[in-house]
Chain A
Amino acid sequence: MIKELRREILQASFDAGACHIGSALSCLPIMYGLFYEVLKDDVFIFSKASGVATYYAILADKGYFPKDKLAYYLKNYPLASKEVPGVLHSVGSLGHGLPVAVGLAYANPNKRVFVLISDGEVEEGTTYESALFAHQHNLKNLYVYVDNNGIQACGKTNDILNLDLALNFFQKMFPNCYNIHTTKGDGVSFMENTVEWHYKNIDEELLKQALEENGF
C-alpha cells in the first residue's frame, strides 16, 4: 500500500514536472500512519508545504478527487492549496500551518487537531510562539508531528542550525509533540539522504529506475 502511494507520488511528480520529491517521500511514512491508522473524525493541517505530493496522493486515495487529477493539482497548486478538495487551509511559506492548527485546537477543545511540520519549520519564530501559546493554554487536543529528515534546502539541518535542543524544548512545551526521524527521499535509493532531491525534477529514466526498485 505504501509502495503504491510512493508510485503515485513519483508518477505524478514526473507528469507535473514537480520538485520537492525528497521532501514528499520523507513524510510518507508519517502521513500513511496518520491517514490510515490514526485520523478519524479529526482535523488535519498540512504545514510542510513542500511535501504536498504526498498529501494530494493520500487525499486522492481517500476519494476526495479522482486519481487521474493528481498530476493536474500538483502542477497547478504546487503548495498545499484549499483549491484542492480535502485541503482545509492553504499554506506556502514555512511556519504558517502550526499557528492555524493552534487556533483550531483552541476553538474546538473537544476535537483533535493534527499538524505536520518540517524540521526546517522548527527554525521559524512562529514555532516558538505557538509553543508558548499551546503550553500556556494546555492544548491537549493538539498533536504536532515533526518530519525530521535532517536535510533542509541547502544542506544538513544540524550543520545550518542544530535543532536537537530546540526539539527537546518543543516536546516539553507542546502537550503532544512527536519528533519523527525520517529519511529524505525515503524508498528511492538514489534520492535517500541527498540535498539535491529537495529540488530536482525526475526524468523518464530515473522514474523507471525508482519504480523498479519499488517493484513496479
Chain B
Amino acid sequence: MDFRRQFFNQMCELAEKDKDVILLTGDLGYSFCEEYAHKFPKQFINCGCIEQSMVGIAAGMVLGGKKPYVYSGTIFLLMRAYEQVRDDVAYNNLNVKLIGTGASQFLGFTHNLQGNENEQDLLKNLPNIKSFYPQNEEDLRLALLSFGPAFIRI
C-alpha cells in the first residue's frame, strides 16, 4: 500500500483517540486526505500554499496545547520553511511532526541532475529534532507516536 495511504489511515486512528491531534496540509494530499478531512473536520486544516507560516503556526499550536502534524512535500518543509523548522520547531523544542513526501528532488524542482542532495544533511546539525525514514507500517506508527519534534519522510 502507498505510504501516503498508510499515513492518512494512521492519522485517522490518532485523531479518533486524541482530540488534540490536528493535521495541517500545505494544499497537498489530493485523493489521499479526503477521508480524514471528512471524518475529522475540526482536526484538519488545508492551510494553502503558506509553507513557512504553516510551520510557525504549527509551533504556536503546540504552545496552545495541540499536537500538530504537518504534511507537505519534503522540499517545501525542509527547504522553503527551513528557518521555521530550525528556529520555531528545533530550537524551541516544540512537538511538531513534519511529514514530508518524496525526497528532496521530488517533482524535479531542484533541476539537479546529479542527485546529490539529501535532506538528512539539512537536519543533522539541528538540536532536538529527530528524523525518521520508515520502511513499513510499524515504523511509521512509531514515528508518528514519538515524542518531540520530528521529521518523518514517507
Contacts and interface: CB of A to CB of B under 8 A. Distances in A.
A103 interface: yes
B91 A99 contact: no
A89 B88 contact: yes
The B interface is mostly helix, strand or loop, or mixed, namely helix
B59 A103 contact: yes
B47 to A, nearest CB: 6
9 contacts: A89-B88, A90-B91, A99-B84, A100-B63, A101-B60, A106-B60, A106-B61, A107-B64, A107-B66
B83 A103 contact: no
Interface string A84-101: 000011111101101111
Interface string A45-56: 100000000000
Contacts, number: 96
B50 A129 contact: yes
A149 interface: no
A100 B57 contact: yes
Interface of B: 45, 47-48, 50, 52-66, 68, 83-84, 87-88, 91-92
A172 interface: no
A27 to B, nearest CB: 21
Which of the four size classes fits the interface of chain A? Answer: 20 to 34
A125 B65 contact: no
Contacts of B58: 103
Nearest to B46: A136
A39 to B, nearest CB: 16
Given A90-B92, A108-B65, A125-B52, A99 B60 contact: yes
Given A90-B91, A92-B87, A133-B47, A100 B52 contact: no
A104 interface: yes
A96 B56 contact: yes
Contact of A133 (B48, B63, B66, B88): B48
A90 B128 CA distance: 15
Interface of A: 43, 45, 82, 88-93, 95-96, 98-108, 111, 125-126, 129-130, 132-133, 136-137
B72 to A, nearest CB: 14
Contact of A103 (B48, B52, B60, B87): B60
A104 B64 CA distance: 5
B145 to A, nearest CB: 21
A133 B50 contact: yes
Interface centre among A88, A129, A136 (most CB of B within 10 A): A129
B128 to A, nearest CB: 12
A129 B66 CA distance: 21
B47 A93 contact: no
Nearest to B47: A133
